[in-house]
Amino acid sequence: MKFKLTFWRVVFIVIMGLGLYSTFIRFFYGLGAVSNMTDQFPWGIWIGFDLLCGVMLAAGGFCIVGAVYLFNVESLHSVVRPAVLTAFLGYVLFIVGLLFDLGRPWYIWHQMIYMNPHSVMFEIGICVMSYTTVLFFEFLPNVLERFKLETPIKWIKKIYPVLIILGILLSTLHQSSLGSLYLIMPSKLHPFWYTPALPFLFFGSAIAVGLAMTIFESTQSAKAFGRHLELPVLVQLGGALLVALWVNALLRFEDYFHRGLLGQIIKPSYEAYFLWLELALAFVIPIIMLSFKKVRLSPQGLYLASIFTVLGFITNRLNIALTGFETYVGHHYIPKWTEYSVTLMIVALGFALFGLAVKYLPIFPEEKHPVQERLRTATVTAPVAATPVLDHAGD
């Protein structure tokens, strides 16, 4: 096959080049040379975006698997494979991101021998490790089918109920535990974001974003691969998203109400501006949009609403990881360009791998009219969608 240099392929190559340069700096000159992290700001954008947001963006896997296999919602069956693929890639890339952020990544296996059961980080580590394994087995049938290996598929089908229940159990644990990480910092994290309810809020937002991401990636891959869009599936997901957003909004309101912060959050302040941005993007805009039946029934409307939701909750997690500490520390943390470039490289890799998987594996159900031509030209769609997400990553 002839390799054609399209605009997005050039962008992809540039991103990878800069990313590899930053990787060299990171592992040769240390974290100080590659990032703007300091003793006052020991966790930067790699924790805030790559880890906190990465795990949330990959939540579609357990949401859809739960809906289809646990609650037996047959109609969503066609999005299970893309959702599992996204989750699997998401977690693998999460681990790649972790290798950049850990000061001594070569000792990451210590996690398995020097266990500290009191540590939230330990629990997350074990859960993520196990869940990535579960996702591997949930994803494996795609590869086996491609090579027509029937026997191992039968074995995996036999243990599928166990995989599903284990996957959802592990997801419940670590999605909420990401919030628990911050419970030990009551004196540091700004009260707008520090709340004993953090684990519940993290779990709730994971479900909302999981649904939104499934809408987003279905629409995106329909566009990129010239596939037929299954509107009834999107409509159903959109309805579920609206419910999930209301539940999240209610939780947030209850939390501010019980802690007596309702008066404070409406007063202008540095933190309030970021909070307003987050609340507008995550709740106000998508809830208003999805409340119109016309929007709920249109692919374009659902697509937009899902993008707002995703951006809103990304803002939420970046606020928790970065904005919420600035007043305590007393200065701002602005990531170095090399930090952005590593994050950008990981996201671009994710999109590229997704594109490759869709091209070579039976991720989407067979269609009657294969769109060979368009498939061929649209291998690397990565940066198309990677760029808008990352524009907001550092806000």
Partner 1 sequence: MSKALLYDATMCIGCKQCEGACAQQNKLPYDDTVAAESVQSAHKYTVVMTKDDKFMRRLCMHCEHPACASVCPVGAFHKTAAGPVVYDVWKCIGCRYCMVACPFNQPKYEWQSRNPRVRKCIMCPDRIAAGKQTACAEICPTGATKFGERDDLVREAQERIRQNPSTYLPRIYGLNEVGGTSVLLISNVPVEQYGYPPSAKIGETPMPEYTGRVMERIPDFIPVWTLVLGGIYWVSHRRDEVAAAEAEQKKNGSAR
- Would you tell me which residues interact with partner 1 (CB under 8 A)? 27-33, 37-40, 42-43, 69-72, 101-105, 107-108, 110-111, 114-123, 125, 161, 164-165, 168-169, 172-173, 177, 180-181, 183-188, 199
Report in angstroms the alpha-carbon separations of 38 from 41, 183, 322, 331: 5, 22, 13, 11
- In the complex, the smallest distance separating the C-beta of residue 121 from partner 1, rounded to whole angstroms, is 4
Could you tell me where the DSSP H helices lie in the chain? 7-29, 31-34, 45, 54-57, 60-65, 80-101, 110-113, 120-146, 150-180, 198-224, 231-258, 262-265, 270-279, 285-291, 293-296, 299-318, 324-329, 337-360, 372-377, 382-391
- In the complex, the smallest distance separating the C-beta of residue 119 from partner 1, rounded to whole angstroms, is 5
Residue with tokens 């990531």: 335
- Minimum CB distance to partner 1 smaller for 195 or for 220: 195
Could you please report the per-residue DSSP string of 72-98? --GGGGGGHHHHHHHHHHHHHHHHHHH
Residue 251 neighbours by CB distance under 10 Å: 17
**Quick one: residue 357, left, alpha or beta (phi over 0 = left, psi -120 to 50 = alpha)?**
alpha
Report in angstroms the alpha-carbon separations of 121 from 94, 180, 185, 323: 14, 9, 14, 21
- In the complex, the smallest distance separating the C-beta of residue 132 from partner 1, rounded to whole angstroms, is 17
- Minimum CB distance to partner 1 smaller for 13 or for 326: 326
Report in angstroms the alpha-carbon separations of 235 from 239, 274, 290, 300, 365: 6, 31, 10, 11, 19
- Minimum CB distance to partner 1 smaller for 194 or for 351: 194
- Minimum CB distance to partner 1 smaller for 178 or for 380: 178
- Minimum CB distance to partner 1 smaller for 174 or for 296: 174
- Minimum CB distance to partner 1 smaller for 160 or for 276: 160
Side chain identity, residue 147:
F
Distance CA 257, CA 261 (A): 6
Sign for the pseudo-dihedral over CA of 75, 160, 56, 375: negative
- Minimum CB distance to partner 1 smaller for 71 or for 147: 71
Could you please report the per-residue DSSP string of 108-136? TTHHHHS--TT-HHHHHHHHHHHHHHHHH
- In the complex, the smallest distance separating the C-beta of residue 336 from partner 1, rounded to whole angstroms, is 12
- Minimum CB distance to partner 1 smaller for 169 or for 279: 169
- Minimum CB distance to partner 1 smaller for 177 or for 381: 177
- In the complex, the smallest distance separating the C-beta of residue 356 from partner 1, rounded to whole angstroms, is 31
- In the complex, the smallest distance separating the C-beta of residue 36 from partner 1, rounded to whole angstroms, is 10
- Minimum CB distance to partner 1 smaller for 53 or for 164: 164
Distance CA 361, CA 91 (A): 19
* HSE toward the beta carbon, residue 204, CA cutoff 13 A: 19
DSSP secondary structure code for residue 370 in this structure:
-
- In the complex, the smallest distance separating the C-beta of residue 86 from partner 1, rounded to whole angstroms, is 22
- In the complex, the smallest distance separating the C-beta of residue 32 from partner 1, rounded to whole angstroms, is 3
- In the complex, the smallest distance separating the C-beta of residue 247 from partner 1, rounded to whole angstroms, is 18
- In the complex, the smallest distance separating the C-beta of residue 28 from partner 1, rounded to whole angstroms, is 7
